[in-house]
Chain A
Amino acid sequence: MSASSLRWAIPAAVVPVLVLLAYGFSTDPREIPSPLLGRPAAAFSLTTFEGAPLSLEGLRGQVVMLNFWASWCIPACYDEAPALERTWRAYKDKGVMVVGVNIQDKEEAARAFLRRFEHSFPNAPDPKGRVSVDYGVYGVPETFFIDRKGRVRFKHVGALTDEIARRQLDALLTEPS
């Protein structure tokens, strides 16, 4: 190894490592793309807190906003709760269904949450976590937008806002059914 060959050997070894580190540190490790986008949404069949049956099959032809939440999810679920109800009231007559799925929760705490925010859209517990795994849910809150053909089109991680909901729903509603 002469001095001249060492002159290129050191950068050749160091530069790829630096490039890899630069790439790694500039990406957010918590942001993992969902493999479900564009694919048919998993069927589910739940019973709402009111005891009514709730299945995705029964909502075919409507745009569905599927929200996963928990009463212990502070503050994100509390932040988005009023926006969910406002979105439901604004869109329920336009062919949109808002559905809440309560995961990893205690029934009484979940019911108290629904009373507190006066949620009037259907909400159902997922006691065995089957639906949340079917949707690849990492944590709460996560919101899935499902088009009229029943495909998952968008996933929002974290507290939902009126603007995000409006933008996604308006786009899906303009698509032919």
Chain B
Amino acid sequence: MTRGLTGAAAAVMLVAFLGRAAAAPVDEQTVHEVASQLRCVVCQSLSVADSPSETANQMRAIVRERLAAGDSPEQVLAYFVEKYGDWILLSPPKSGFTLLVWVVPFVGLGIGLVLVAFVVRRWSRTPQAAAPPQLDPAVRERIRREISELDKS
């Protein structure tokens, strides 16, 4: 009975805590994470999180406002994509045509590794595969004689 009451009290406290967490102001870290994935429209090579421009400032405010309204980071990004297209994302989406950007480097790396393995195998096999060099019979005879002389001494 006591244990049940303790559990209920804990549950009430948990609900109260979660409720407060939901009403709390948006975590600036999340705002920064979302903003860092958005391209600053007036400076192109910077993210919205890093740009000091007025536009980026306003876009950060929109990110904060939408997160505060209960949007998930994905929903906030989707809003910007809806308005600006995939261009607004600093990382191209891992689907459709831009999937190539993610896949091709690894495919290239794989092909390169296979090629290297193939070439290395060939190189290491070549000396064994080649016929032993032909020795001049005269030289062979001289070697044979010198070895036998060494044995004698």
Contacts and interface: CB of A to CB of B under 8 A. Distances in A.
A35 interface: yes
Interface stretch (B21-29, B55-63, B133-141): B55-63
Contacts of A139: 41-42
Nearest to A140: B42
A138 B83 contact: no
Interface in A65-122: 104
Nearest to B53: A104
B61 to A, nearest CB: 7
Interface stretch (A50-58, A126-134, A166-174): A126-134
Pick the most buried of A33, A34, A135, A136: most chain B CB atoms within 10 A of its CB.
A136
A35 B82 contact: yes
Interface residues of A, number: 19
A109 to B, nearest CB: 14
B73 to A, nearest CB: 17
Contacts of B84: 32, 35, 136, 138
Interface residues of B, number: 19
B118 interface: yes
Nearest to A105: B54
B85 A1 contact: no
B107 to A, nearest CB: 12
A46 interface: no
A165 interface: no
Nearest to B108: A13
Interface of A: 1, 32-36, 42, 104, 128-130, 132-139
15 contacts: A1-B119, A32-B84, A32-B85, A32-B87, A35-B83, A35-B84, A36-B83, A104-B55, A132-B58, A133-B58, A134-B83, A136-B85, A138-B84, A139-B41, A139-B42
Given A35-B84, A104-B54, A138-B41, 10 more contacts: A1-B119, A35-B82, A42-B83, A129-B54, A129-B55, A129-B59, A133-B80, A137-B41, A138-B42, A139-B42
